[in-house]
Amino acid sequence: MRRTMSMAGIAVAAVMLLASPRVQAQAKAGPIRLIVDASDAPQKILHVKMAIPVTPGALTLYYPEWIPGEHMPDGPIIEVAGMKFSGGGKTIPWRRDLVEMFSLHLDIPSEVTMLNAEFDFLLSAPAGGFSAGASATNSLDVLSWNQVLLYPKGFNIHDILFEPSLKLPSGWKYGTALPGGKQNGDMIDFSPVALNTLVDSPVLAGRYFREIQLTPGQNPPHFMDIAADSEAALAMTPETEMHFHQLVAEAAALFGSRHYRDYHFLLTLSDDVAHFGLEHHESSDDRTAERSLIDETELLAFAGLLPHEYVHSWNGKYRRPEGLVTPDYQVPMKDDLLWVYEGLTEYLGSLVLTARSGLLTQEQSMDELGGLVALYQHRPGRDWRPLQDTADAAPFLYNATEDWSNWRRGTDFYEEGELLWLDVDATLRGLTKNKKSMNDFCLVFHGGPSGTPALKPYTFDDVVATLNGLAPYDWTGFLRARLDGTSTKTPIEAIENSGWKLVYSEEPNGMEELENAIGKRSNMTLTIGAVVSDDGMVEDVIHGGPAYNAGIGPGMKIIAVAGKQYSPEEMKRAIEGSKSSTTPIQLIVANGAQFQTRSVDYHGGLRSPHLVRDSSRPDYLSEILKPMTPVAGATQSAQ
């Protein structure tokens, strides 16, 4: 996941006009005046006023349903309250459509040419979820424009002009890719923009705010706009900051061009908002823990977030699967190519650019990758649900809980997609004696002229054609086997083809330990086959594994292990001792209000995954993780 334009809106519209003559005949709508009053955001409520030019007769207004980058119909319509319409001094009634429930029907009286709408948006969402999750605290607010507007039916979102204004709590500063912001007191008036640009350009505002220029004196400019719940959280060491400068330089080297006028990392540091990232063409909405920039462990835990969302400007926004290019926010999106949209972004962002920018060391990246391969080697859901279906079913798999995730599978097109693209990279290198790689793919597929945002849709065949242009091969067969097959060898082959092997030992995996510490849980997938929180709650049980065979399921609570009160340390001791013990590990488990004894027949001791070099094959992985640009300093060399 992770999203600007006014001139850009026109530029994209021009591309669409050329591509589709039908659009040419389409009328334009607006300008629609939109005033969002966020001065009560700390109180968890936004006030919205709209003035919509109308003609008399039947009118249908939409509330955005399918949110770009979220790949599902999760527009937070439930948080709309106090909705009232008026025109010519009179109230105008409305009624919801009984089938298309994000549609409101009105009958505009004959003398009315301007419809006034007003409503509140309730920021009462729980902390979880994506942009519909918690977005405001006492000290900051992330405004997603799709949540605070209605738009008329019958127009392409490129053809509806909005004139947005935003009122902030007194003294707050803000960052956004939305162009032309003029601040007058606490009110900001932005330039008129097309609806798609508006929705693609969230605003981050807060009391504690810092702007860092990542490419000072260069064009295009890059900003880190940071809002935090405390002044102290805005600090970072020069070394940490250098990695973000390096990220911009490495992305330029990888893609060869930039399809934006400026770029804003909108970074929210708070423990009281939903944690996720949402991509935009000229910015990203990145939300993480308050101490992420100043606490070493937190910094490592969020290392891959900004690189992932940044890659989406090329892979997801500029190049977008055809099925995700829809005329408005009501037409369902088709998620079948998310293994490219998200899988390739996970590979290029969370793995490749995170390592190349130094946000993780090469060793940490290897540890993380080893953990990922091991996890997918122990994912029985791969026996029945093909990787392709995890993408096809994404609109509901995004909402799946962690329990049984190994058997149900979740949005695995991210992580298994990452491994699939590592295998593509290694295979490209193998076929061409290391003369061609995914670096070349990115130049061809994501390159082209730099400048204002443009949209170039693609199909499966376009991906295959690009690969064939680099190294002729049965790429259709290669990809389809890994996408449509079950129990595929993708995880292990990706590692082996890049010159490494997966081994298990008692020695802990550093990144796995870090993830356990951050998540306050023990991931024992590789041993007893369970994930257990530090207070004993069973979060997941591997289908067919030792804990599963002992009758343990998610939602149960482990009270005691080997006769002692449950703690992660006692559990670890019991697993360590299992190697020399002939008796099962005895657990007392609460299933609701009832207690039971469970015997887990496991004797393998502690096991952690590690990658070791396979000297019989070329080491592509180390090369993939190496920076393309000089590391020293904050300047860039590419372009």
Q: How many separate helices (H) and strands (E) can be counted in the chain?
A: 22, 32
Phi and psi torsions of 125, nearest 5°: -65, 150
Smallest distance, Zn ion to C-beta of residue 362, A: 23
What is the per-residue binding string for Zn ion in 179-218, x denoting contact by CB under 5 A?
Answer: ----------------------------------------
Q: Specify the residue, 397 or 547, whose C-beta has the smaller distance to Zn ion.
A: 397
Minimum gap (Å) between residue 439 Cβ and Zn ion: 20
Q: How far is the CB of 214 from Zn ion (least distance, A)?
A: 21
Q: Give the nearest distance from C-beta 298 to Zn ion in angstroms.
A: 20
Least gap, CB of 356 to Zn ion (angstroms): 18
Query: Phi/psi at 572 (nearest 5 deg)?
Result: -65, -40
Closer Cβ to Zn ion, 342 or 412, answer by number: 342
Contact 414/286 with Cβ under 8 angstroms? no
Told to check if 278 binds Zn ion by CB under 5 A, we report no
- Which lies closer to Zn ion via its Cβ, residue 1 or residue 348? 1
**Residue nearer to Zn ion on the CB measure, 289 or 311:** 311
What is the distance between the alpha carbons of residues 204 and 285, in angstroms, rounded to a whole number? 8
Contacts of 609 (CB under 8 A, 6+ apart): 370, 371, 373, 374, 502, 503, 504, 509, 512, 526
Contacts of the segment 132-135: beta carbons below 8 A, 24+ positions apart:
132/74, 132/75, 132/76, 132/79, 133/273, 133/274, 133/276, 134/272, 134/273, 134/274, 135/273, 135/274
Helix (H) or strand (E) holding 390: helix 387-392
Nearest approach, Cβ of residue 252 and Zn ion (Å): 20
Q: Exposed, middle or buried: residue 420 (CB in 10 Å: 0-12, 13-18, 19+)?
A: buried
Report the alpha-carbon distance of residue 57 to residue 53 in Å, rounded: 13
Give the interface size with Zn ion as a residue count (CB under 5 A): 3
For residue 380, give every residue at least 6 positions away whose Cβ sits within 8 Å of its Cβ, in sequence order, or none: 406, 407, 542, 543, 544
Minimal distance, residue 297 CB to Zn ion, in Å: 23
Question: Is omega for the bond preceding 31 within 30 degrees of 0, making it cis?
Answer: yes
Rounded to whole angstroms, the Cα distance separating 104 from 558 reads 50
CA–CA gap between residue 339 and residue 601 (Å, rounded) = 37
Shortest Å distance, C-beta 342 to Zn ion:
5
Nearer to Zn ion, 46 or 333 (CB): 333
To Zn ion, the closest distance from the beta carbon of 76 in angstroms equals 20
User: Toward Zn ion, which CB reaches closer, 345 or 406?
Assistant: 345
Least distance from Zn ion to the Cβ atom of residue 349, Å: 8
The residue (of 1 and 254) whose beta carbon lies closer to Zn ion is 1
Q: Three-state DSSP class for 223? A: strand
Decide if 617 contacts 426 (C-beta within 8 A).
no
Q: Which amino acid is at 368?
A: E
Please, which of residues 302-361 interact with Zn ion by CB under 5 A? 342, 345
| Residue closer to Zn ion (CB basis): 71 or 243 | 71
Q: Residue 315 — φ and ψ, nearest 5°? A: -100, 90
Q: In angstroms, what is the minimal distance from the CB of 278 to Zn ion? A: 8
The region of 1-9, 139-147, 176-184, 257-265 touching Zn ion under the rule CB under 5 A is 1-9
Q: Alpha helix (H) ranges present in 174-288?
A: 195-199, 238-255
Residues linked to residue 533 through DSSP beta bridges, in sequence order = 521
Task: Report the residue closest to Zn ion, judged by CB.
Answer: 1
Nearer to Zn ion, 280 or 409 (CB): 280
Q: How far is the CB of 425 from Zn ion (least distance, A)?
A: 19
Name the residue nearer to Zn ion (CB basis): 65 or 342: 342
Q: How far is the CB of 582 from Zn ion (least distance, A)?
A: 48
What percent of the residues of the chain are helix, what percent strand, and what percent coil, each to the nearest 5?
35, 25, 40
Q: Is 1 in the site for Zn ion (CB under 5 A)?
A: yes
Residue (of 245, 197, 181, 184) closest to 218 by Cα position: 245
* 342 or 415: CB nearest Zn ion: 342
What are the residues facing 207 on neighbouring strands? none
Nearer Cβ to Zn ion, position 207 or 317?
A: 317
Instruction: Determine contact, residues 554/404, Cβ cutoff 8 Å.
Output: yes
Q: Which is nearer to Zn ion, 3 or 243 (CB)?
A: 3
Please say which residue, 1 or 214, places its beta carbon nearer to Zn ion. Answer: 1
Sheet strands side by side (includes 57-62): 94-96, 103-108, 57-62, 151-152
Q: CB of residue 308 vs Zn ion: minimum separation in angstroms? A: 6
Task: Give the span between the Cα atoms of 235 and 232, in whole angstroms.
Answer: 6
- Give residues 45-84 in contact with Zn ion (rule: CB under 5 A): none
What are the residues binding Zn ion (CB under 5 A)? 1, 342, 345
